[in-house]
Each structure stands twice: as structure tokens, then as C-alpha cells.
């Protein structure tokens, strides 16, 4: 299917949905009404993120009591993906969907790992669907997992419910071949301003998985709370983690808790990127250990929302013993490649001290085998070779600051794009949004979707852009429902910017596909923001 055809199809579907919402029925492949939409086959490729290539053809596949999930013999990774898929499909369909070796059945859903399909890369997959079955092919297990998300979204939204639902369960016929635009597609959760339990983090991980996000960045320390146990400095967690914004009890992850988050993220093919924010945003640490302060006096714990008032003591040797211990212990808990050292808003650190600090600290990250990520202020020092800078500027950021980041990018520093006035999930949608902040302006759904990461930062080469990330700062966010309201529906748009080819970018087409996610959010219990910019199907 050509790009042009791919882009026309969503428009036609959008028109059909609008007609349906108005109670006008039409004949054809498109849904006739919302309730019919749920039991009608979703056109191939009407998913988020939109696949790179979609070729509808032939008959749909219908799941039945005879359907098996077939895997290659001896592949533990395929079995894990198969069990995950079965776990999603069984409660709603009521089907047994036994996982079997591929030779034990025919047709059905086949998960196939192929050593020769190298062009699918680490995360790509091919989905072939027809009357006899659905085959997902990938070069790596992660590709199968990403393909499963597409398969899930091809099925009616009710498949996401945890109780038995009426079928039929059809997957449109044809072929999807799909690989990501960017290798880094992240979401950040600030567990410092408000603490979130392991269960809450897992819930978010599951939501991110549906949109093919592959990095979970955890902001583990800030002025208001230190959230990870460090054995060599125990008071960081026990005292520094004992409160949060507003003065609640806070909390921290034991090492076992943290390993469980990392394990769970890995089971959803996500890499955890831990962040210890340095040298600013460190009041919780400074309050826990008087000796870390230049004057030797520990400040009180902090439960407000100001930024930029704290700094580690750059000239003191003990500062680097502290940083070495923390990074060593955190790196040991981190199977992933990256370790984020923050570096933002160090307004209480002089420029000279900041540069000196980063010069000493970045080699510590390398010593423990990790690659540095820092907020883009890191480009005001000398970023280590291979480091990534996370750009969180906005339209009104000064040309000089933008150029500093662009120059670093031209010099080999990779960029993760998180422009605050586009993808900060804590920004209010409009003046009426109850939660969130507005310092970067209001960010409605279209604004968060409608930009091009490759051409966003003037003077930065497109190849320097390694991906996108949507941060969720939590000064005003303390419950699952708050996460839902702010992340949905903006997060799927950021996920699409990270995954889908630039040629597919089209707000009109996207908003129709996003609208179709509404019933899925509901089935998943996600309390999303009903943006008036999106033609959500009429409520039943």
C-alpha cells in the first residue's frame, strides 16, 4: 500500500465514524455504529502507533475455541510472549487459547522467531492474517512482543476487559510489516515528588507496553524525596524518602522492590533508565547527611514545589565518595545501558562548579559500565563520549541555549527530545485542567502530537536524534487516576512520534485512530481526558 493510500484510508474511516456518531449508517467496510464498531473487524493498520507498512488483503481471521497459540519449540522467550498474549485474551474471549509447540496444531496464532529476517531488527515484526490464522514473525522476541500489541489493537476494544465479553473476535486480513523510527521511545515517571508503589509503577508499565514504549525512566531522587535504598548510605531512603510534596509519608523502594520493577519492565520489553538528579535537586540527600553540605549543617526535609535551591558541595571529597557509592549500587541494579544523572536547574551551583562536577561524575558512570544521560543542561559542561542529552526546552527557550544543545549534537552527543511545551505530561491541557502545571503553557492533544522530532531543534542533525520521551512530573499527581488523566491521550501520540515513519505523520488521520482508542482506554480502566480535539465515539 502506498503512503498515499495509507493516508486516505484513515480519512475515510474518520468520515465513517463521524457519520456513525451522528446516527447515520453507511454500507462498507467501516463501522456502522459504535456498538457495531466493537464487533466489526477493525481495518488492518488502524492502530497506534500506525505501522510502517499495511497491505489489507483477503479474509479476516476469527478466534475460536480451536485457536491455539503456537510457538517454536524450546523458545522460552516466545513462550513468555505467548503466555502474556493468552493472559490478555483469555478472560474476555473465554477461549482456552492453549500455548502449544507449533507442530501440535495448524493455523491459529503463530509466534515465529526467524534468524533470517534480519531486516526486522530488534523490535520489528510482520503480521500476516487470513482466514486460516495469524502469523507474527520477528527476528527477536521483542519484535514478537511489539507485534502482539498490534494484534491486540486489531481486536475489538472489549478484548481488554477482564470479564467474559461477546465476540466475534476478528483480525482483519492482510500483512503489516513494521519497524520503529527511533530506538529510544521513553516515558518518565517522577516517583520523588510523590511516591508511587511498585504496583502503581507496574500498572503504568502495562499501559506503556500497549503503545510500544521501550524505556521507563524513573526519576528516583529530588528535593522532596529519595526513593531507592542505597546500602552504604541508608538514611537516604529511610529519612530522605520519608516525605513528599504536601508532607505525606512518601516511601522508597527496597532493592528487592526495585529489582521487581526492573524484572516486570523487562517482561514488557522495557528497559528501566534510573535517574539520580545531581548536583541540584538534592535536598533529600543533603537533609539525610549533614556532611554532604558545604557548611556541615543538614537542611530540613522539603515538601514544597520550588526548584533550584539545593546543591551538593562540589569542592568536598566526600561528595564523590557519595556519588561513587550511589552510582555503583544503582548500576548493579540496572541491566540496561543507561544511567541518568539529571543535571537540570542547578541554579545553586556556580557554572565552574557545575562543569567540574560533571567532569568528575561522568567517568564514574562509565566506570560502572553505564552510558550517561543528562538533562540538556549537561551540554553546558562537556558531555562524555556517547552521552545522551535530554532536551526539555520549549519554543521560547533562548536561541543561545538551543544552539548550545545543537552544537553538542553536531559534536556527537545524542539527543532525546522531551520539549516541555509538547510532551511534558504534567502540563495542563487547557486552563480548565484541574491537575498539572502551566509554566510551559497549555498542551492540548494536537500540540503534543503535531511536531517532527527529526527537525525540531534548529541546527541539530537529524541523525543525532535518538528518540523521544514523555516525562510525567508529579508535583500535582499522586494517584493512578491522575496519571491516567495526564498521560492519556497524550502518551500514545508521543509513542507514535517515536515509532511510526515520518511519512505517516498526519493529525487528521491520527485523531481518528486515537478516537478508536477511547473504548480501549475504558475497557482497561484508564480514566482519560476526553479532549474535544478528538472525535471520540459516542458513549454507549
15: which residues sit within 8 A by CB, 6+ positions away? none
**Which of 1, 12, 105, 307 touches ligand TNX by CB under 6 A?**
307
Does residue 178 belong to the site contacting ligand TNX (CB under 6 A)? no
Phi, psi of 195 (to 5 degrees): -80, 140
Which residue's C-alpha cell is 511536531?
A: 451
Q: Is residue 117 among the annotated active site residues?
A: no
Site string for ligand TNX, 423-452 (x = CB under 6 A): -x-x----------x---------------
Closer by beta carbon to ligand TNX, 266 or else 437: 437
| CA–CA separation, 462 and 365 (whole Å) | 27
How many C-beta atoms surround the C-beta of residue 118 within 10 A? Answer: 9
- Smallest CA-to-CA distance from 87 within 38, 160, 17 is with 160
Given the residues 271, 329, 345, 359, the one annotated as active site: 345
Does residue 375 belong to the site contacting ligand TNX (CB under 6 A)? yes
Closer by beta carbon to ligand TNX, 309 or else 451: 309
According to DSSP H, which parts of 62-173 are helical?
76-93, 141-154
153: which residues sit within 8 A by CB, 6+ positions away? 42, 46, 47, 48, 210, 520
| CA–CA separation, 178 and 220 (whole Å) | 34
Closer by beta carbon to ligand TNX, 175 or else 224: 224
For the bound state, the minimum distance from the C-beta of residue 501 to ligand TNX, rounded and expressed in Å, comes to 29
| CA–CA separation, 273 and 94 (whole Å) | 37
| CA–CA separation, 348 and 310 (whole Å) | 6
Does residue 226 belong to the site contacting ligand TNX (CB under 6 A)? no
User: CA geometry: angle at 78 spanning 76 and 79, to 5°?
Assistant: 60
For the bound state, the minimum distance from the C-beta of residue 225 to ligand TNX, rounded and expressed in Å, comes to 12
| CA–CA separation, 166 and 525 (whole Å) | 19
Does residue 345 belong to the site contacting ligand TNX (CB under 6 A)? yes
Q: What's 469's DSSP letter?
A: E
For the bound state, the minimum distance from the C-beta of residue 424 to ligand TNX, rounded and expressed in Å, comes to 6
Closer by beta carbon to ligand TNX, 204 or else 473: 473
For the bound state, the minimum distance from the C-beta of residue 473 to ligand TNX, rounded and expressed in Å, comes to 3
Does residue 401 belong to the site contacting ligand TNX (CB under 6 A)? no
Does residue 473 belong to the site contacting ligand TNX (CB under 6 A)? yes
Does residue 12 belong to the site contacting ligand TNX (CB under 6 A)? no
**Which of 182, 184, 239, 392 touches ligand TNX by CB under 6 A?**
392
Cell of 61: 481471521
| CA–CA separation, 99 and 86 (whole Å) | 8
Site string for ligand TNX, 36-75 (x = CB under 6 A): ----------------------------------------
Does residue 394 belong to the site contacting ligand TNX (CB under 6 A)? no
Would you tell me which residues interact with ligand TNX (CB under 6 A)? 307, 344-345, 375, 392, 424, 426, 437, 473, 475
Catalytic machinery residues? 345
Amino acid at each position: 500500500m502506498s503512503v498515499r493510500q495509507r493516508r486516505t484510508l484513515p480519512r475515510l474511516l474518520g468520515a465513517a465514524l463521524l457519520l456513525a456518531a451522528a446516527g447515520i449508517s453507511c454500507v462498507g467496510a467501516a463501522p456502522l455504529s459504535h456498538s457495531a464498531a466493537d464487533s466489526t473487524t477493525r481495518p488492518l493498520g488502524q492502530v497506534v502507533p500506525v505501522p510502517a507498512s499495511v497491505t489489507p488483503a483477503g479474509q479476516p481471521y476469527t478466534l475460536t475455541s480451536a485457536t491455539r497459540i503456537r510457538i517454536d519449540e524450546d523458545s522460552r522467550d516466545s513462550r513468555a510472549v505467548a503466555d502474556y498474549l493468552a493472559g490478555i485474551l483469555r478472560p474476555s474471549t473465554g477461549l482456552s487459547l492453549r500455548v502449544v509447540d507449533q507442530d501440535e496444531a495448524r493455523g491459529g496464532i503463530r509466534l515465529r522467531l526467524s534468524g533470517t529476517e534480519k531486516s526486522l531488527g530488534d523490535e520489528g515484526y510482520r503480521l500476516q492474517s487470513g482466514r486460516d490464522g495469524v502469523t507474527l514473525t520477528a527476528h527477536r522476541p521483542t519484535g514478537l512482543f511489539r507485534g502482539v500489541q498490534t494484534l491486540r489493537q486489531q481486536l475489538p476494544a472489549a478484548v481488554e476487559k477482564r470479564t467474559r465479553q461477546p465476540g466475534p473476535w476478528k483480525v482483519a486480513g492482510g500483512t503489516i510489516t513494521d519497524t520503529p523510527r527511533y530506538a529510544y521511545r521513553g516515558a518518565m515517571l517522577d516517583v520523588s515528588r510523590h511516591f508511587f508503589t511498585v504496583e502503581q509503577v507496574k500498572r503504568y508499565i502495562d499501559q506503556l507496553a500497549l503503545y510500544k514504549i521501550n524505556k521507563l525512566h524513573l526519576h528516583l531522587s529530588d528535593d522532596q524525596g529519595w526513593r531507592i535504598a542505597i546500602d552504604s548510605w541508608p538514611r537516604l531512603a529511610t529519612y530522605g524518602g520519608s516525605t513528599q510534596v504536601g508532607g505525606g509519608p512518601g516511601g522508597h523502594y527496597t532493592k528487592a522492590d526495585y529489582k521487581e520493577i526492573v524484572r516486570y519492565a523487562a517482561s514488557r520489553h522495557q528497559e528501566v533508565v534510573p535517574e539520580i538528579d545531581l548536583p541540584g535537586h538534592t535536598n533529600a540527600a543533603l537533609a539525610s547527611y549533614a556532611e554532604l553540605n558545604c557548611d556541615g549543617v543538614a537542611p530540613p526535609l522539603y515538601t514544597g514545589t520550588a526548584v533550584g535551591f539545593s546543591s551538593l558541595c562540589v569542592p568536598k571529597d566526600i561528595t564523590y565518595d557519595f556519588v561513587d557509592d550511589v552510582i555503583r549500587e544503582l548500576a548493579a541494579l540496572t541491566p540496561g545501558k543507561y544511567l541518568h544523572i539529571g543535571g537540570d536547574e542547578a541554579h545553586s551551583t556556580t557554572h565552574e562548579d557545575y562543569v567540574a562536577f560533571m567532569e568528575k561524575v561522568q567517568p564514574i558512570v562509565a566506570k560502572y559500565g553505564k552510558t550517561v544521560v543528562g538533562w540538556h543542561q549537561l551540554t553546558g559542561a562537556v558531555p562524555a563520549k556517547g552521552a545522551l542529552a535530554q532536551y526539555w526546552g520549549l519554543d521560547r527557550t533562548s536561541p543561545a541555549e538551543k544552539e548550545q544543545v545543537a552544537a553538542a549534537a553536531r559534536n556527537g552527543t545524542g539527543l532525546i527530545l522531551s520539549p516541555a511545551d509538547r510532551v511534558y505530561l504534567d502540563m495542563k491541557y487547557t486552563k480548565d485542567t484541574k491537575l498539572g502545571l502551566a509554566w510551559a503553557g497549555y498542551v492540548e492533544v494536537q500540540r503534543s502530537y503535531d511536531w517532527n522530532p527529526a527537525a525540531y531543534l534548529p541546527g541539530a542533525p537529524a541523525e543525532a536524534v535518538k528518540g523521544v520521551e514523555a516525562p510525567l512530573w508529579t508535583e500535582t499527581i499522586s494517584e493512578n487516576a491522575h496519571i491516567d488523566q495526564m498521560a492519556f491521550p497524550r502518551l500514545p501520540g508521543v509513542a507514535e512520534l517515536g515509532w511510526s515513519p515520518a511519512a505517516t505523520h498526519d493529525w487528521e488521520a491520527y485523531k481518528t485512530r486515537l478516537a478508536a482508542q477511547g473504548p480501549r482506554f475504558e475497557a482497561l480502566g484508564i480514566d482519560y481526558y476526553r479532549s474535544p480535539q478528538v472525535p471520540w465515539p459516542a458513549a454507549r
